[in-house]
Amino acid sequence: MEDTPQARESRRYFISGMVQGVGYRYFAMRLAQRFGLGGYARNLPDGRVEVYAVGSASKLQEFRKELARGPHGASVASVAEEEAALNPKFERGFSIEH
């Protein structure tokens, strides 16, 4: 079953721990591509990584579980999740924001 525009949701995740300088944003991008999600990942000045993702509720749930694991070399302390407004700019494709 394909996602329909009505079935698409968006979430924002804030990942804390040792998550900068370890390839976390690229890890998030590869995951998003694997799950067919749109969005972006970016480093925040306070040391966290912000990930915005658009997709079906079930894919977003799976995505969050993997974000909590993180890439080799990272140490994820927590993943805070919040609903986010759907931004059509990020519905297709995933990018690394600076």
Indicate which residues carry an active-site annotation. Answer: 25, 43
CB 94 within 8 A of CB 29: yes
What is the spatial distance between Cα 26 and Cα 14, in angstroms, rounded to a whole number?
15
Q: What gap in Å lies between CA 47 and CA 52, rounded to an integer?
A: 16
Contact 54, 38 (CB under 8 A): yes
Q: What are the beta bridge partners of residue 95? A: 40
